[in-house]
Amino acid sequence: MLERTFSIGHVAAVTGCKVETIRFYEGIGLLPEPERTEGNQRRYLAKHVERLRFIMHARELGLAVEAIRQLIALGENPSAPCEQADEIARQQLESVRRKIARLTELAAELERIVASCDGKSIADCRVFEVLADHSTCDHGGAKVRP
């Protein structure tokens, strides 16, 4: 019995992934290239859809392409220990926590700037003053050099 196949348009519709993105994932080797019809149309199997959903979920969690590649390679050996997969997830968690801390600092700085602006004129606008002179910032970010 032949396994059911799907067009790229159908795969895009059922996963919510754009056709161009599916082709991109194929091109970089995250998604195996599907077989093609005599008319050169891609025909995907259920395993392709499952892999694409895996990739999309990993991307939603912010994982880099290389981390996803490593996870896919690890998944090729289901009986192997999952220490490497755990480490990839831990590293991503730490990255997310650093980003949250940085965004929290930025939000506080923006709140401070907005609260100190009287909104009367651009000539006296605190937003312009702070953006023009980084030394007036409280967030301690890296100074931009001209």
pLDDT of residue 96: 97
Q: pLDDT for 6-22, tens place per residue? A: 999 999 999 999 999 99
pLDDT value for 126? 79
Low-confidence ranges of the chain (pLDDT < 70): 1, 138-146
**pTM reported for the whole predicted model:** 0.78
Alpha-carbon distance of 111 to 109, in angstroms, equals 5
- Give how far Cα 5 sits from Cα of 10, 15, 43, 96, Å: 10, 15, 5, 38
